[in-house]
Every structure is written in structure tokens, then in C-alpha cells.
Amino acid sequence: MKDQVLKVVKIGGKLIEDKTKFQEFLKDFSALGGPKILVHGGGNFATEMALKLGYKTKMVDGRRITDADSLKVIIMTYGGLINKNIVAKLQALGSNAIGLCGADGQSIISKKREVKEIDYGFVGDIERVNSDFISSLLNQQIIPVFSAISCTKEGELLNTNGDSVASEIARAMSSMYETELYYCFEKSGVLANAADNESVIETIDKSKYRELLDEKIITDGMLPKLHNCFQALENGVSTIFLGNSALLQSKTKHTKIVQ
């Protein structure tokens, strides 16, 4: 099936929160030809829901600490509210989608993150992706929509970074398909100036990446995202794109990551 291009698309939580841009994104995603997979998170939804339920969200250096109460909220919001709303909207656009988490078909198996300097709680680090199961859905022209929840071999659900879920799925599927990975979020791509959304760096290779790191242009949440990108490229993914909701139809400037 290497003659087919599989598109693995990760949508950021801030795009999901913007109803207009979210609907535009789903239309563009639905219009993509060929096999495709959608991955989503939804951090702010979980934070808002936790507040309504009287749970306090704990953060360390901008990262969520997933205690037992937070995990319940994440499973409800990611695996339920957000996931099923996306599936319903895609069905309305004529795209036959199915909502999944890592437990379904043992599709994303992880282990609980080891405690080092910080105990992140019920957070999963991915060990294996069931590419045969995912491929069986794609062969039936079904679009898998994955929430950022993985599962241990023992059956414990874990909160898992959505960018990592998308990257690991793309890597696993690259043995069967030519695989492209798309990160769609609120920015137009990787920016030379974080305050200027027009300062898009249109192409980044390893040399440029090291240069941007040295100049401290890549910081905060973009660091792990680009780390995932280059790991994916080194493990079979052909091309990676980063940009806003118009990225999928190449209607705007964006960033392309290459080896």
C-alpha cells in the first residue's frame, strides 16, 4: 500500500474551542482524498470540566499533573464529549468516522510514566501502536478519530500527549503507507517571532532546527512538538507540516519539516 499516501492529522485544543475555525477545519479534513486519521486532545475543556466538578487542576511548568480525579475528567471529555462531537460532525460532512481511544482494538498500548524529578501521575508513554487494527479500518474506508488516551497491557487508561499519539501512529503506519503528518494549531507554523503570526519559517531541516535552538527561537510547547517531528522523520514518516486551520488545503503559509 506504499502507493497510497496516508495523512495523520493532529488538531490542537485551541482550534477545537473556536467554533468557526473548527468547522472550517473539519470541512477541509473531510475533503482530503485517500486514507486519513485524526488525533485530538482538548486540555482546556478538561480544565473547565474539572472546575465545574470541584476538582483543582495541577500544573508544573505548564504540564498537567494527571491525578485520579483529573484522569476521570480527561476520559469523560477527551474520550466522550470531544471525540463523539468530532465523529458526529464528520458524519454530517459525509465522512464515515469512528471514535477511538488506545484501549479500542488495543490500538495504542503504553506504560505509566516513571517518576523521576516530577510525578506526572496517570500519564502514558507509548510502547506500541496496533497498525494492523488501524489499517483494517482504513481498508473499510473508515476514518479513525483518536482521543489522546492510551491504555496499558493491564487495562489502565492513561492521559497521553496528543502530539506524541499522532507521531507514534504516523511512525507505525509508515511501514504500510507513505505517511504524512500534519499538526494543526492556532499559529501559522513555526514562527521566527512569536509575536508576529506572519513570521512563518517555511522550511526546517536538522541544520535549521539546531540553529533555531541555539538562537532560543524554539521554546516552550514547540520544543517537544519539533522533537516529535524529527523522531518521526527518522522512523519512516515522509513529510511533516505545521500550521493553522487552513493548512490542510494549503490555503496559507505553513512550516514544512524535512530531513
- 192-245 pLDDT per residue, tens: 988 898 999 999 999 999 999 898 888 777 888 888 899 999 999 999 999 998
**pLDDT band at residue 35, thresholds of 50, 70 and 90?**
very high
State how far the Cα of 55 lies from the Cα of 69, in Å rounded to an integer.
7
On whether 42 is known to bind a ligand per the annotation, the reply is yes
User: Is 199 part of any domain?
Assistant: no
- Residue 5's alpha-carbon distances to 169, 182, 210, 232, in angstroms, are 14, 13, 29, 16
**pLDDT band at residue 166, thresholds of 50, 70 and 90?**
very high
User: Is 117 part of any domain?
Assistant: yes
Say which residues have a Cβ less than 8 Å from residue 111's Cβ, sequence separation at least 6. Answer: 124, 125, 127, 152
Structural domain range at position 164: 5-185+223-251
The length of the chain in residues reads: 259
Number of helices and strands in the chain (H, E): 9, 14
User: Is 48 part of any domain?
Assistant: yes
On whether 197 is known to bind a ligand per the annotation, the reply is no
Q: For cell 510502547, what's the residue?
A: 127
Entry pTM: 0.94
State how far the Cα of 43 lies from the Cα of 14, in Å rounded to an integer.
9
On whether 193 is known to bind a ligand per the annotation, the reply is no
User: Is 212 part of any domain?
Assistant: no
* Per-residue pLDDT reduced to its tens digit, 128-149: 999 999 999 999 999 999 999 9
User: Is 194 part of any domain?
Assistant: no
Number of domains in the chain: 1
User: Is 214 part of any domain?
Assistant: no
On whether 159 is known to bind a ligand per the annotation, the reply is yes
Residue type, 18: D
Indicate whether 61 pLDDT > 70. Answer: no
| CATH code of residue 176 | 3.40.1160.10
